[in-house]
C-alpha cells in the first residue's frame, strides 16, 4: 500500500482548503471510478477528500428549474417524485446506470466531474442545456465539457449543484455494454425553452459527449423517425474499440435516436 491521508470535511469551505493544501488531492464522491483506479495503482493521491458530509445532496424545485445537489446518488435521482414529474427521462437514465450498488453509491456530480466518454449523465446535461454551479461560478453545459475525461473545472473547484430546466419533451435511449452497462452509444433528445431542440450523444465520440448538428437540424425540420434516415453519421470522429467499431457506433446512433424519439411519442 502507498501512503495517503483521508480527510472528511464538514462543509464546502473545509473541502476546498483540504484540496488546496494537498499536493495531489482527489475528491471522493461515490468512488465508483476513483476506488477502482486506486486499486489498479493508476492514481496515488497524497490525500483523499471525502465529500459525503459536506451537504451537497438533495433535489428541489427552483422556479422553472429542477436543481440536483452534486452528491445526489443515482438511486435518489431515479426515485425522486420531482424528477419523475418534471424530467422523467432523467429518472429513466439514472435507473439504467450500473447495478443497484452502483446506483446507491455513485453521484451525479462525480459522474460529470469525471466525464467518462461512456457515462450517461453528460448526455442529459448537454441535451437539456443544464447549468453546472461550482464553488466558484456557474457554467453552461456547452462550456463545461471540453474533451474525453476533461472539463472546464479548475484544480480547486468543486461542483455543488446542477440545474435542469423542466420539460416533458425529452427521452434517452442507450445501447449498454452487457457487462458494465456503460453506454456503447446513448442518445438524449430534449426540447427546452432554454436550449431549444438538442440531440446529445455519449459513448461514441473520440472527444466524449457531443451534440449532433445534423440530427438536430433534421428533427427541427420534421420531428419524425423518418427524418433520421436521411442524416449522415460520419464515423471518422467516433470511437472504435474491442466493444464496437466506429461504423457500428454510427449505426447505433441512428437506432438509439429513433428509439428515443419513439419514446417521446
Query: Which domains, and CATH codes, for the chain?
Result: 5-50 (3.30.43.10), 59-264 (3.30.465.10)
- For residue 207 the three cell numbers come to 472527444
200-223 pLDDT per residue, tens: 999 999 999 999 999 999 999 999
Tell me which residue of 112, 201, 198, 117 sits closest to 163, measured CA to CA: 112
Q: What is the CA radius of gyration of the chain?
A: 18
Residues of the chain with pLDDT under 50: none
User: CB-based burial of residue 206 (10 Å sphere; 0-12 exposed, 13-18 middle, 19+ buried)?
Assistant: middle
The pLDDT score that the predictor gives to residue 1 is 56
The pLDDT score that the predictor gives to residue 3 is 82
Whole-prediction pTM = 0.96
Q: What is the C-alpha separation between 50 and 31, in angstroms, rounded? A: 9
Amino acid at each position: 500500500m502507498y501512503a495517503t491521508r483521508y480527510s472528511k470535511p464538514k462543509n464546502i469551505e473545509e473541502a476546498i482548503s483540504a484540496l488546496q493544501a494537498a499536493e495531489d488531492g482527489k475528491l471522493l464522491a461515490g468512488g465508483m471510478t476513483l476506488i477502482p483506479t486506486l486499486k489498479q495503482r493508476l492514481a496515488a493521491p497524497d490525500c483523499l477528500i471525502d465529500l459525503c458530509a459536506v451537504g451537497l445532496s438533495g433535489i428541489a424545485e427552483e422556479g422553472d428549474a429542477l436543481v440536483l445537489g452534486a452528491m445526489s446518488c443515482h438511486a435518489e435521482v431515479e426515485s425522486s417524485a420531482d424528477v419523475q414529474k418534471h424530467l422523467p427521462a432523467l429518472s429513466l437514465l439514472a435507473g439504467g446506470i450500473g447495478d443497484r450498488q452502483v446506483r446507491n453509491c455513485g453521484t451525479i456530480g462525480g459522474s460529470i466531474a469525471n466525464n467518462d466518454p461512456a457515462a450517461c449523465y453528460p448526455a442529459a446535461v448537454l441535451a437539456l442545456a443544464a447549468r453546472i454551479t461550482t464553488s466558484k461560478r456557474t457554467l453552461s453545459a456547452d462550456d463545461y465539457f471540453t474533451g474525453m475525461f476533461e472539463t472546464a473545472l479548475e484544480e480547486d473547484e468543486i461542483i455543488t449543484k446542477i440545474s435542469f430546466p423542466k420539460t416533458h419533451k425529452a427521452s434517452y435511449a442507450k445501447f449498454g455494454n452487457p457487462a458494465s452497462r456503460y453506454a456503447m452509444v446513448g442518445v438524449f433528445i430534449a426540447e427546452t425553452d432554454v436550449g431549444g431542440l438538442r440531440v446529445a450523444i455519449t459513448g461514441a465520440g473520440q472527444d466524449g459527449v457531443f451534440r449532433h448538428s445534423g440530427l438536430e437540424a433534421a428533427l427541427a425540420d420534421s420531428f419524425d423517425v423518418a427524418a433520421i434516415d436521411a442524416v449522415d453519421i460520419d464515423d471518422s470522429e467516433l470511437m472504435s474499440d474491442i466493444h464496437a467499431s466506429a461504423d457500428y457506433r454510427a449505426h447505433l446512433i441512428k437506432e438509439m435516436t429513433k428509439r428515443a424519439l419513439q419514446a417521446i411519442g
